Amino acid sequence: MSRVLHRSTRETFETALSGEGSWLTLRTGGRVLDAAGGAAVTCIGHGNQRVASVIAEQAARLTYIHTLFFTSEPSEQLAELLTDDGHFARAFFVSSGSEAMESALKMALQYHVERGAPERTRFIARRQSYHGNTFGALAVSGHPARRSIYEPVLWDTVSHVSPCFPFHAQGAQESDEAYVARLAQDLEDEIQRVGPDTVAAFVAETIVGATSGCVTATTGYFAAVREVCDRHGILIIGDEIMCGMGRSGKRHAWEYEGYRPDIQTVAKGLGGGYVPIGAMLINDRVFDALSAGSGAFVHGHTYQAHPLAARGALEVQRIIREEALVERVATNAEPLRARLGQALEGHVCVADIRGRGYFLGIEFLADPASRRPFPAAAQFSARLKQAALREGLALYVQCHGGRAGLHRRKAGARGHFGRAGSACRLKGWQPPGMCRQRPSAGPYRSFSARRTRSSPSPDHREIGRGWTTKTRTDHPRSARD
């Protein structure tokens, strides 16, 4: 009997003994293709001996310092690497994505205090979002299931506006420009409702991960948001904990959007699962206010800028650069999407394939044409997850508001595209009575246009493959991150 308090007291979890590349070996002897890198974490594969060696070396040299007194070479070098493109001025290292977001919220509040505007205490975020499990991060999250039992104690200084989710929210006759303008006005209206001088920051995931399954913004959306926020002196906190650090085909997913956040959070792809680490990045505007004011961030952790964690993450990032893994993601993104489209073509439950780079999601609906979700009793997400595992495939399956979905990550070997794509068919698996195989029909309207060409399996190790599955049901509960 396990003494670990697992995520569910009603499930039995298999024990993973080792990992190599994209594969996990179980105690039972089975092997599983880790197609989503866990919760979109593993980005250079499991069992990298180079990373393991430098972590061991650092452990023998220096494992901990108190940052009130000292700094360390690994944290200084990692901060230099993360800011050498000139987008950000400083990096603040913590142990998780939730801690990174908590740090970002505090920094936004302190920024306004330093500038003589302590009344700016409100945050505006988006519905159908997820920013972490600590109280501040959960308060800005628009994830009803994860918020539910904590609602009575979450901040009342947070409000939420509509997400940019064209697949479900853009009108059939509404142009992209009109849709973006409507969302920008929604944000403007909320700012006016709560008072422009009370808002500290707007919080958004560049590509929405856990709650929506790799939803990219409509072109022009973030530029419009930037304009609204700048008009009122409001900071933008960009959450790239899941989609950042190369997963999209660029180091920062916002590089596609024509804007830059003032504060950014990163985590999962930063350490690639080798060490628990997250980071808050701040631009010159925020750093200059802090430096010219009190000169001290009123926040800290015992394990912040941990030398061992920083050294592991530094090596992961060096490997990504030396092997040009981000560039490989950009090059091979379309072949990957094409293979996925081919594997799922004709399946009537597949409503959409979306995302950017290797951060891709598949949305399943009972009836894609009418956007009808699965009934909660069908347990589509749970059954899909188990069916995939039986075929030796680990997916990141989520369920939100009736939608079921699946993600993919970054890093694999030759032939894995075909393996993962074929496994998506799950040997003809069908949830009985819920959806049927489409009879030799044409490709799906929602993603056929994106399938530009077929391609052989690439010869490379890429950065973070990530299938994410998103299943829609009438029940809002989602699988935990």
Which DSSP state fits 272?
A: T
Per-residue pLDDT at 320 exceeds 90: yes
Q: What is the average pLDDT value for the chain, to the nearest integer? A: 87
Residue 15 forms part of a structural domain: no
Among 252-266, 318-332, 452-466, the least confident range: 452-466
User: Please, which contacts does 111-117 make with residues 24 or more away whose CB atoms are closer than 8 Å?
Assistant: 111/200, 111/235, 111/286, 111/289, 111/290, 112/200, 113/293, 114/289, 114/290, 114/292, 114/293, 114/294, 115/289, 115/293, 117/197, 117/233
Residue 461 forms part of a structural domain: no
Residue 334 CB-density burial (10 A; 0-12 exposed, 13-18 middle, 19+ buried): middle
Averaged pLDDT, 44-54: 98
pLDDT, position 346? 85
* pLDDT classification of 132: cutoffs 50, 70, 90: very high
* pLDDT classification of 210: cutoffs 50, 70, 90: confident
Residue 4 forms part of a structural domain: no
Residue 20 forms part of a structural domain: no
Among 310-324, 369-383, 448-462, the least confident range: 448-462
Higher pLDDT, 236 or 411: 236
Among 67-76, 255-264, 406-415, the least confident range: 406-415
Residue 102 forms part of a structural domain: yes
Number of domains in the chain: 1
**What is the three-class DSSP state of 406?**
strand
Residue 251 forms part of a structural domain: yes
Among 27-31, 218-222, 455-459, the least confident range: 455-459
Per-residue pLDDT at 473 exceeds 70: no
* pLDDT classification of 401: cutoffs 50, 70, 90: low
Kindly report the CATH number assigned to the domain that includes residue 122: 3.40.640.10
pLDDT, position 400? 63
pLDDT, position 399? 74
* pLDDT classification of 1: cutoffs 50, 70, 90: confident
Higher pLDDT, 448 or 48: 48
Averaged pLDDT, 420-427: 45
| Spatial distance between the Cα atoms of 300 and 127, rounded to a whole number of angstroms | 29
Q: What is the pLDDT of residues 403-418, one digit of tens each?
A: 555 555 444 333 344 4
Q: Quick one: what percent of the chain has pLDDT higher than 90? A: 78
pLDDT, position 253? 98
User: Which residue range forms the structural domain that includes residue 144?
Assistant: 50-322
Contacts of 168 (CB under 8 A, 6+ apart): 371
Per-residue pLDDT at 464 exceeds 70: no
* pLDDT classification of 474: cutoffs 50, 70, 90: very low
Among 68-72, 281-285, 453-457, the least confident range: 453-457
Among 116-120, 202-206, 208-212, the least confident range: 208-212
* pLDDT classification of 88: cutoffs 50, 70, 90: very high
Residue 6 forms part of a structural domain: no
Residue 419 forms part of a structural domain: no
pLDDT, position 406? 57
